Amino acid sequence: MSLKVVDNTTAEPTHKRNPGYPLDLDWVERVRMNRSALERRAGSIGARRTVKKDYQLAWLLKAITMIDLTTLNADDTDGRVERLCAKARNPIRRDILDQFGMGNRRILPGAVCVYHTFVGTAVRALEGTGIPVAAVSTAFPHGLAPVETKIAEIEASVKDGAKEIDIVIERGMVLRGDWQALYDQVKAFRKACGDAHIKTILGTGELATQTNIAKASLVCMLAGADFIKTSTGKEKVNANLVTSLTMIRMIRWFAEETGIEIGYKPAGGIATSGDALKYMALMKEELGNQWLQPHLFRFGASSLLTDIERQLEHGLTGHYAADYRQPMV
């Protein structure tokens, strides 16, 4: 079986990193979001157009390259992180790839995401793969430690080898409308990251309104964020299509004004292949094919890969395998 698929392993195109811009409070105050319109648009994703058969399987292989394989549990251990990294090295069983005619393709996840404590473990376990390690930082998930502590944590993760840093903002700054404070903190975090890319987690489920989410997205991008991300995965409400549409449209507006392409990462609750396909369709329709690349789009997920692997095997055999045939850790 050979999939109708473009090469998912093309090297990352030349991408200009966000240099950061002065805080434009006039721009921030102009931001308004119509929740009803957003809900109508989000409800149309997956209803009007779907990918089928071989094309769907090809999209799912593409989705694997945009997953941040994640373990952020209180009982994480070096052993669990090493097993997750082993899965990252071989995300899909070789026999499945061979039957799709994809055995010679380099299909690997976008990153492995862990707590700072396990950055060194993950870096060693992924040596030679080119898979970056992402570290959650800045008092994840609440973000309420002293700023000096948060900056020290970022610097420690970068020193240990993290190439991406997922920081969390202080949600109170957004709820108070203290945009200068939010801008200053994110700018300081970006400086501490150095060459490591910074993903700003907004904690959207705790920001009350779509307008707040949009304004926070803009301020983080102005401060130099490489990605904006929905959630820590620990909130009651995590990623959803309405919030994603809000953030994606701010990314589009930012690109129109500055020429800089910012990445997007929905996280929390994305567990099925159907979920992944909806988010990919949203990105394609709102931002274009160029955003369906690991340097501009990631899923923050821990169980999504298992479901994708089951779907791929179903495409070959017509039967769904038991979960234990595609163990994560």
Identified catalytic residue from 226, 229, 275, 278 = 229
* 215: annotated active-site residue: no
> What angle separates helix 273-287 from helix 53-64, to the nearest 10 degrees?
90
* 229: annotated active-site residue: yes
| Under 8 Å between Cβ of 41 and 34 | no
Which CATH number describes the domain made up of 25-325? Answer: 3.20.20.70
Query: Residue 323 above 70 pLDDT?
Result: no
In degrees, rounded to 5, the angle at the alpha carbon of residue 15 between the alpha carbons of residues 118 and 295 is 40
Distance CA 286, CA 220 (A): 20
pLDDT tens-digit map of 162-199: 999 999 999 999 999 999 999 999 999 999 999 999 99
Identified catalytic residue from 87, 163, 166, 187 = 166
Query: Residue 51 above 80 pLDDT?
Result: no
Quickly state the pLDDT bin for 265 (edges 50, 70, 90): very high
* 166: annotated active-site residue: yes
What is the CB neighbour count within 10 angstroms for residue 18? 23
- Return the pLDDT at 91: 94
The residues spanned by each domain of the chain are 25-325
Identified catalytic residue from 199, 265, 275, 307 = 265
Q: Give me the percent of the chain exceeding a pLDDT of 70.
A: 93
Residues whose CB falls within 8 Å of the CB of residue 208, separated by 6 or more in sequence, listed in order: 175
- Return the pLDDT at 227: 98
